[in-house]
Structure 1
Amino acid sequence: MGLIQKVHDGYVHGRRVHVLADHLAELLPSDASVLDVGCGDGLLASLIQQQRPGITLTGIDVLEREKTHIPVRPFDGQRIPLPDDSVDVVMFVDVLHHTEDPMILLREAVRVARRGVLIKDHTRDGLLAGPRLRFMDYVGNAHHGVVLPYNYWPGDRWRSAFQELELAVRVWRDTLRLYPGPADWIFGSSLHFVAQLELSQVTASQHSVRD
């Protein structure tokens, strides 16, 4: 596992962060205020900001770090410490599968966001999807002390959650090319997705009434 860890940290992780930054930067609206939930050290958010300088990114995380690339506040992992309708977009990047119930944070995102939600996560669909996802999760996160409940939803469960929360799917991408060469055939395929979600007109109007 030591060699695998070195390869992951030295090559795979760096490529993955830059590829993700490209996908996410493209899907954020102009001049938006964005909250990155579970942002870690904020490296990904800072790369997005470099591509889209008009966007303002701040973060929250359950683990406090001495140095971060963007402003980061601590939170308890369940309630977003912001008022209703306080940011344009809430972003989750490989965060929700680390929770016991992703709906808790998704509901919080709908409460806090004025315009929409942007998600990068996994789908437990396809041959041996569960074991492949657990392996990736362990290699990438175990040594950082990240909680690993391995709570991966299939695609249908994600879509039913979005419907329940009245979030319209504007973009759904499941070909992200996160890994180099043959590794992407095994650990890429359709195990990953990015979803750009928009608050429904009903939800948005309810937010306007509260304002």
Structure 2
Amino acid sequence: MGVLGRVGRAFSRVYWREEPLVERIRPHLPAGSSVLDVGAGGCRVAELLGADGRLSVTAVDVVDHNVTAVPLRLYDGERLPFPDKSFDAALLVFVLHHAERPEALVREVLRVTRSTVVVVEDAPGTCAERRFWRAWDYLLNHAAHDDVGVAHRARDAGQWVAFLRSCGAAPSSVRRFRAFYPVLRSYPHVVLPVSVDSATSG
């Protein structure tokens, strides 16, 4: 592993962004909900969400980078290994920009969810922000884990909304934020909750 990979893995050992993320995600998940975390990565979001026992969180991913005691289920990246409407809610946290077929992934997540899908994504807008985004995404993901694909496409907040609408998953709100960790404040992020009832009926 090269220098960039060692730096990326060093960052990944610290809970420097998961706790603020969980505080932004939790309001969209009523107590007692069953939650599917798709593309769970190190499973730290799943661990934090399930820590107080008010949520039952299932983690799935296409590779195993789990650094917690949360059970991780691997799948083929095509069809989630669950029946229709298996979970109250699902999470796509910094996942869609890595997906080769993000439209198919959104529709598959809608299939297994009864109520809410919460999408959290990077949303660089300017040329400079997109350069920072690509550099940090490469460092924190692909350089640290060569089985994590490089980011495929940057979208700003408006483009994410349009993309989700094109998948039949119009967000009910748009919340922009910048990460607490200083280097990631160089570009914005967005929380996009989707009502599955509205998505499936629309």
In the superposition, the TM-score normalised over structure 2's length comes to: 0.84
Deviation at 1:45, TM superposition (A): 0.9
Partners of 1:13 and 1:47 in 2: how far apart?
13
Change (3 A) 1:157 1:101: farther
Q: 2:117 matched to 1:117?
A: yes
Task: Give 1:185-196 correspondences, 5 Å limit.
Answer: 185-186=185-186, 188=187, 190=188, 192-196=189-193
1:48 alignment partner, SS class: helix
Partners of 2:41 and 2:12 in 1: how far apart?
19
Change (3 A) 1:30 1:176: farther
Stretch moving more, 161-170 or 97-106: 161-170
Task: Please say if residues 22 and 48 of structure 1, whose CA atoms lie closer than 8 Å, have aligned partners that are also in contact.
Answer: no
Deviation at 1:49, TM superposition (A): 1.6
For 2:49, give the aligned amino acid: I
Matched with 1:138 is: 138
Deviation at 1:9, TM superposition (A): 3.0
Structure 1 alignment gaps of length 5 or more = 207-211
RMSD over equivalenced CA pairs, Å: 2.8
Partners of 1:176 and 1:120 in 2: how far apart?
12
Change (3 A) 1:66 1:55: closer
Task: Please say if residues 168 and 199 of structure 1, whose CA atoms lie closer than 8 Å, have aligned partners that are also in contact.
Answer: no
Partners of 1:6 and 1:123 in 2: how far apart?
24
Deviation at 1:177, TM superposition (A): 3.1
Structure number with greater Rg is 1
Matched with 2:21 is: 20
Partners of 1:59 and 1:12 in 2: how far apart?
18
Cα distance per residue 1:25-81 (max 9 Å; x no partner):
232122111100111231221112225x21100111111357643221111112211
Matched with 1:209 is: none
Change (3 A) 1:3 1:37: closer
Q: 2:181 matched to 1:179?
A: yes
Partners of 1:65 and 1:3 in 2: how far apart?
18
In the superposition, the TM-score normalised over structure 1's length comes to: 0.81
Partners of 1:178 and 1:154 in 2: how far apart?
19
Partners of 1:184 and 1:114 in 2: how far apart?
33
For 2:157, give the aligned amino acid: G
Change (3 A) 1:47 1:3: same
Number of matched residues? Answer: 199
For 2:152, give the aligned amino acid: Y
Change (3 A) 1:36 1:202: closer
Q: 2:155 matched to 1:158?
A: no
